[in-house]
Amino acid sequence: MTRNFLLGAILGIAINTQAQYIISDPAFLAELQVVVPGALSGNVLDTTHASVLSLDHLDLASSGVMDLDGIRFFTGLDTLNVRNTPLNDLNGLPPQLKWLDCASTDLLALPNDLPDSLEFLDCSNIGLTSLPSTWPAGLRELLAGSNDLTVLSDLPPALEILYVNFNDIFLIVQLPSTLLVLDCQSNDLTGLPALPPGLVRLGAGVNQISVLPALPATLEELVMSYNDLTNLPALPPALRELYISSNSVVALPTLPNGLTKLSAGSNQLSALPNVPDSLNYLYIAWNQIDSLPPLPDGLTLLGCSGNLLTELPALPAQLEDLYCNQNPLTCLPALPAGLLSLVCNNTGITCLPNMPVGVTYTAADLGFQPVLCGDGDPCALEQAVRGVVFLDLNGDGVQDPGEPPVPHAVVEVVPGPIMGGADVNGAFAIPVDTGTYSVDGQARLYHTITTSPFQVTIAPGETDTSSAIGYQSIPGIHDLRSDIQAGPARPGFENLVHLSVTNAGTDTSAAVIDLSIAADQSFDSATVMPAMQNGNMITWNAVLPPNAIWSCVVTLATDAAIPLGSSITHVLEAGPLAIDTVPQDNTVSWVSEVVGSYDPNDKLSPVSYLNTVEVQNAEWIDYTIRFQNTGTFLAENVLITDTLPASLQAATVQYVSASHNALWHLDGNVLTFSLPGILLPDSASDPLGSQGYIHFRIQVATNLISGDTIVNRANIFFDFNDPIITEPSTIPIAFP
């Protein structure tokens, strides 16, 4: 019996010893002390502890973990994130692991014994020169971009998604038959192997490919920009998006009926085939095309710059962006009411047929001052309501000599309603069908309308010019509004602070503009010379007529010794406050903290939470969407979409400011910001110039209750790349 007792004791000690494991990596230990504190005694892990065996998700991203020794004991783990760590070894992974993100680590190579259960692997940007010779049988998604790969062979047999963009690949031997998505952009490929029969998306732009293999019938998106193609194979019926800019294609094949986007700029095209009714995006700039086919009703963008066009077809009602510069055009057709951007410089066009609402076209974009074509001008609309909007100085409802125009006023025609904008001379022209209409101006802040609605009747081919809409300003209104936005402050780096002050009043204001910058930052420069600087207080003086906007970009520096997490607060104030009608919006603050690494594309709100009283009062929420071009080449265009949740009142959206010239519109609950022709440099070439922002405000829905959360994110598109989806901005609702 004594012998049996001794054997049992020895066996118990052995088992207990096996159940204890020393975690040698201090950073790994610190992370485990947070997620499985009950399984640790100092640096010793109880490998049989329930919390160890049941843990299924471990996020170590951006930590200092270098060694995962001991991770094998977490046998229930199916998700492991070690992105952006100094990790240099992946041996001993848990046997049931399904999802692994090891991007931006110090690995340099992948082991040949990855867990058989693995389904997702992100190994981008780790310096890989080759891939493993054996793979888990069930691996479905492999992200291996931004490495040093040269040849692809022996890929996982069941692979469905493969990203190998930004490598040095010159040969792809064979692709798995199961593949659905292939992104091999920015490599050294001169050709592609046979494509899998079920492929849905092919991205092979920025290579030297001259001939494409047959395209599978399932293909929905084809990206082949910046290659050496001269022709295309037959396009599959499922194709929805086609990008072939900057090739040498001489003719396009028949376009599929479901195609929604066609980008074929900078080729050798002399004609276009008929375009399908489904098309909403057509970019064919810099070809030799002399005429366009009829355009589909749903088209939202037409880019036809640098061709041989002498006239444009009728423009679709949904069109938002029109680029037709560098063509021998002399007239424009009627502009759609929702047209946001228009570029027609270097043509024979000298006037606009009509002015859509809510936009301010610039002389630089147009090639002339934004004025309407006058009566009798061959480019004037044949059938329209025309008139003028004026400032009725004496309030008598009649435009007297010397009474100035009201630029950019909004005119409403009913039934419809149909909206039209006035040009810089107050003139408006609104295309309408035949019928009888009432014409009036829309309400303007701090103004009254002095004229009654005009009743007009339009016969076929006729234009009515009788409408002269008068506004009288309420005198003596001073109303300055301030806004401030800033990029992230990082130790040892500079960042930009964008300032703007708008005179929303009716009287000229002599503004004194003060900026108080955070104590941990120092002033470097400004695009507008300050009148005075006293330590961290900077002052400007500006005379602002009504509707004028003062803007300035300030460059600040953060010392390398400033600790991460240090508070950053800037305060902008525009005075004098004593005479301001709404002094509450004269002073604004920017509050953040010093950061190390950060996501340059994000959506922020200074509101951390709302209480139910604020909800009932429809509190305003400010949102800032920040973006940065982290690619390898400048971005010609930036597009931002924001699907507003039901917890926000979409109809209350107000644009506040932006780092660049921005156009915006709201369609249902989808808010879109367009920054055409932004030419945003990449972050490596110009770290500060590669950044930008959009600032808007919106009211919260009044039916939210305690426990609800406002969740909102943005999609940021740089040219034709996949969108960058920001982390969600979350605002919880609680009792007061």
Residue 2 has a pLDDT of: 47
> Are residues 461 and 529 both part of a single domain?
no
Domain boundary among 473, 505, 520: 473
The burial class, CB within 10 Å (0-12 / 13-18 / 19+), for 55 is: buried
Do 570 and 501 fall into the same domain? yes
- Report the pLDDT value the prediction gives residue 7, as an integer from 0 to 100: 44
Return the pLDDT at 25.
Answer: 93
Mark whether 462 and 486 lie in a shared domain.
no
CA-to-CA dists, residue 283 to 244, 257, 261, 322, 520, angstroms: 10, 17, 8, 10, 47
Here the tokens at position 528 are 């507008």
The whole domain housing 537 covers 475-598
pTM over 0.75: no
Residue ending a domain, among 578, 598, 618, is 598
Quick check: is 178 in a domain?
no
Q: What are phi and psi of 601, to 5 degrees?
A: -115, 110
Does 199 map to a domain? no
CA 53 to CA 36: how far, in whole Å?
10
Is 624 part of a structural domain of the chain? yes
Mean pLDDT for back-to-back runs of 10 residues, the chain (736 residues): 46 54 94 93 94 93 91 94 91 92 90 93 93 93 93 94 93 96 94 96 94 97 94 96 94 96 94 95 94 95 94 94 94 90 92 81 83 87 91 93 86 85 84 92 91 94 91 92 87 87 89 93 92 93 88 89 85 90 91 71 84 89 89 79 90 82 74 81 76 90 88 85 81 83
Provide the domain count of the chain: 3
In this structure, the answer to whether residues 611 and 735 fall within a common structural domain is: yes
The β-bridge relationship of strands 321-323 and 301-303 is parallel
Contact by Cβ (8 Å): 77, 36: no
Within a domain: residue 146?
no
pLDDT number for residue 14: 42
Q: What is the DSSP string of 262-282?
A: EE--SS--S--PPPPTT--EE
Does 479 reside within a domain? yes
Residues 6 or more apart whose Cβ sits within 8 Å of residue 715: 640, 641, 642, 723, 724, 725, 726
Tokens of 674: 């367009």
What pLDDT was estimated at residue 408? 78
DSSP H or E segment with residue 691: strand 691-700
Dihedral class, residue 416 (left if φ above 0, else alpha if ψ from -120 to 50, else beta) = left
Query: Last residue of a domain, which of 416, 450, 473?
Result: 473
Beta-bridge partners for 449: 471
Q: How many Cβ atoms sit within 10 Å of the Cβ of residue 56?
A: 12
The pLDDT of residue 13 is 42
Identify the burial level of 364 via C-beta atoms within 10 angstroms of its C-beta, where 0-12 means exposed, 13-18 middle and 19 or more buried.
Answer: exposed
Do the domain assignments include residue 412?
yes
Query: Alpha carbon 477 to chain centroid distance?
Result: 37
- Whichever domain contains 414, its CATH number is 2.60.40.10
Per-residue confidence (pLDDT) for residue 15, from 0 to 100: 43
**How far is it, in rounded angstroms, from Cα 32 to Cα 517?**
40
Chain centre distance of CA 620: 22
Do 618 and 505 lie in a common domain? no
Residues contacting 164, CB < 8 A, separation 6+: 144, 145, 147, 149, 152, 183, 184, 187
Tell me the C-alpha distance between 90 and 166, whole Å: 24
Model confidence pLDDT, tens digit, residues 305-323 = 999 999 999 999 999 889 9
Amino acid (1-letter code) at residue 576: P
Sequence-separated (6 or more) residues with CB below 8 Å from residue 94: 71, 72, 74, 75, 76, 77, 80, 115
pLDDT tens by residue, 38-57: 999 999 999 999 999 999 99
Q: Are residues 513 and 420 in the same domain?
A: no
CATH number of the domain where residue 615 is located: 2.60.40.740
Tokens in use for 303?
A: 């880019």
